[in-house]
Structure 1
Amino acid sequence: MDLDAYVAEHRGEWRRLEALSRRRKPSAAEVDELVLLYQRVATHLSVVRSRTPDPALVAELSRLVLSARATITGAAPVDWRRVPRFLAYDLPLALYRARRWWYATTICFVLAAVAVGAWVISDPAVPRAFGMTDADIAQLVEHDFASYYSEHSAPSFGLLVWTNNAWIAAQCLASGVLLLPVAWFLWQNALNVGIVGGLMVGHGRADVFFGLIAPHGLLELTAIFVAAGVGLRIGWAWVVPGPVLTRGQALAAAMRQGMHGALGLVGVFAVAALLEAFVTPSFLPLLVRDAIGVVVWGAFLAYVLVLGRRAEQGELVLDTAAAGPQG
C-alpha cells in the first residue's frame, strides 16, 4: 500500500473528524456525521496498523479515534448516590483489609523511632554525625520546634501540611508494588522523628515535644502508616496472589481497593492538617489539645475497624450465599 497516497486520499476525513470532535454542542446532523467518520477512521487506523504501521500516523489516528469516541459517548455524570456507599463500605473495607500491613508498619516505625531517639539521648555525638552543630541543636530545642507550628498563618500552614503529607502517602501507595521503596520512605521519617524527639527529650523538653505532636500526630502518622500498608498490600498481591487469582488479577483487585483507600486518605490528611494548623498552636490547655487529638484518632480507628469488619463480614455472607449449599 502506498502510504502517501492513502494519507492524501483520507486526510480530509480526518480533519473533518477532528473538527467535529471539538464541537461542544454538535447538531443532530453533525452527530450523525461524527459517528460515520468515527467508524471510517477506526477502519483506517486498523488498515494502517496491519499494512504499514508508521508510528507517527498510528499515534495521530489513535488520538482522533479516542477523541471522537469521547465526544460520542460523553463524560459519565457524577453519581452522588455512591458517596454514602463509598464512605460506609468501600473505604473502610479497603483500609480494613490492609490492617495487618499497617499494624506491622506502625510497630516497625515506632520501634525504629524509639531506637534512634534512645541512641541520640545516650550519645551526644549522634546529631553531629548528621551535620548538626551545637548552635543548631540549641536553636531547634529552644525555638524552632515550637515555633514551627505558629510562625505561619493557620490556613497557609494547614494547606502546606496537607499537601506534604498527601505527597508522602502518594509515594508510599505508588511505590508499594516494589515494596522496598516504602520501607525507605518510612525509615527516613522514623529517623527524622527519632532525632528530633531524642534531642527534645534529652534536653528536658519532652513535655513540649509530646504535647505538640499528640493533637495532630496520632492521626497524621496513622494515616501515613495506613497508606504504607495499603501500598505494601498491593505489592504483596503480585508476589503471593493466592490459590485462585492470577498475579495480574490479584494485583488489579488490590489496586482497585487501593484507589478507594487513596481517595479516602485525602480527607483524613485534611482533618490532620486542620488539627495541626488550628489546634496544635492554639491557646487551649495542653490536656485539652491532646484530648482532641486522641478523640479524633480514636474515631478514625473505630470507623475503619468497625465499619471495615462489618463490610468484610457482609462480603463473606454474600460469597457463602452465592456458593450455595455444599455437599
Structure 2
Amino acid sequence: MNIQRWIARRQAQWQELDILLQRSEQKGIKALTAKEIGTLASLYRSVAADLARANTNQIGQTIVQELQALTTRAYSQVYRGSRRQELREVLDFYRWKLPQVLRETWAYTTIAFALFMVGALIAWWFAWQDASFMSLVVPQSMIEKVRDRNQLWMGSIIGTEPFAASSIAINNLSVAFRMVGGGILAGLWTIYALFYNGILIGAVATLVGQNGLAYPFWAFVFPHGSLELPAIFIAGGAGLLIARGLLFPGRYRRRDALRIYGVQAAQLVMGIVPMLLIAGAIEGFFSPQEVIPSPIKYLAGTGLFILLILYILRRDRARGELQTSTGNL
C-alpha cells in the first residue's frame, strides 16, 4: 500500500469529520442537520476502519494517534446523541404511550379484576359458612395469631425494612411475570393465578373482619395496595392479551395476532415494573409503621390511587390537537 497516496485520498474525509465534530462539540448535536448527523455517523465508521488499517499496516504513530483521537471524539458524539434519544423515547413512553396502552387494554384489565373478585367473594362466602374453610387457604400460624391473640402479622417487617421491601418487590414481580407468561398456556395459568390470589385475599380479609381487625388491616394494605393490586390486574390483562392472540386471532394470522397483542403485553409489563417497585418500597418502609396514624395511611393510599387514575387518563394534548385538526380537514 502506498501510504502517502492513501493518506492524501483519505485526509479530506478526516477533515470533514473534524469540522462536523467541532460544531457538535461547541453547540451540541442539535446544531447539525439530520443529513449532517447521518454524514457524521457514516464518517465515524469510515475513520474507524481507517484506524484499523493504519494499525495493521504500521503507519506512522502520528497518524494513528490522530485517527484515535478523531474516532474517540466521534464515538462520544454519535453514541451520546443515541443515548439521549433513547432516554427521550423512554420518557415519552411513560409520559404518553403507556397511559394510551392502558386505556386501549382496559377491557382485559377489567376481566382480570373480575376474576380476582370472583375468587375473593367465593372465599368470603365459604369462610362465613364453614369455619374449616379458612384453614384450607390461610396458614395456621396466621389464623392463630389473628384469632387467638387478636394481632396482625405486619410487625415482623419493622427493623428489616430494606430486606423486606426488596423481597416484597421481587415476589410481586415474580407473580406478575407468571401471570403474563401464563397467557401462552391459553391463559389458563393467568386465570388460575388471578382466581387463586382472589381466594387468598378474600379469606384473609374475612379472617381479620371476623376478629375485629379489619380497620388496621386495610390501613396497612391501602398505601401499597393502591398500586400493587392494579399492577397485578394489569399483568393479568397482559396475559389475557397473549391468550387472545393465541386463541382468537380474528382477522389476523395467528402469528401476526401474537405479535400485535404481544407488543401490547410487553408495554404493559414495562408499566407495572415501576409500579411494583414503588409498592414494594411503600410496603416495606411505610405501611407497617405503627407510628403513622391509620387515617394517614388511608389518605395516602387513596391519593396514590387517584394519581394512578389521573395518569391513565393523561393524554398527549399535542397529538390530540393534531388529530382533531386533521379530522376537521
Which category describes the TM-score, using the shorter chain as reference length? Answer: 0.5 to 0.7
Structure 2: unaligned runs, 5 residues or longer: 1-48, 58-78
Partner of 1:201: 209
CA distance in 1, matches of 2:211, 2:283: 24
Partner of 2:144: 138
2:104 to 97, 107, 114: 97
- Whether 1:247 aligns to 2:247 is no
1:298 to 303, 306, 329: 306
CA distance in 1, matches of 2:322, 2:269: 24
% identical equivalent positions:
24
CA distance in 1, matches of 2:210, 2:322: 51
- Whether 1:28 aligns to 2:34 is no
CA distance in 2, matches of 1:31, 1:270: 49
Question: Alignment length, in residue pairs?
Answer: 252
Deviation at 1:299, TM superposition (A): 1.0
The normalised TM-score by structure 2 is 0.67
CA distance in 2, matches of 1:207, 1:221: 18
Deviations 1:190-222 (A, max 9, x none): 121122111111122211222211121122111
Query: Could you tell me which amino acid in structure 2 is paired with residue 137 of structure 1?
Result: I
- Whether 1:119 aligns to 2:143 is no
CA RMSD of aligned residues (A): 3.3
Contact 1:121–1:201 (CA<8 Å) still a contact in 2? Answer: no
CA distance in 2, matches of 1:181, 1:198: 25
Contact 1:146–1:208 (CA<8 Å) still a contact in 2? Answer: no
Flag the structure with more relative contact order, 1 or 2, with Cα contacts below 8 A and sequence separation at least 6. 1
Deviation at 1:234, TM superposition (A): 2.0
1:216 to 217, 224, 228: 224
Residue range with higher mean Cα deviation, 123-132 or 207-216: 123-132
CA distance in 1, matches of 2:243, 2:322: 24
Contact 1:179–1:232 (CA<8 Å) still a contact in 2? Answer: yes
In terms of Rg, which structure is larger?
A: 2
CA distance in 2, matches of 1:132, 1:95: 35
Partner of 2:195: 187
The normalised TM-score by structure 1 is 0.67
1:170 to 1:30, Cα distance in 2 relative to 1, 3 A:
farther
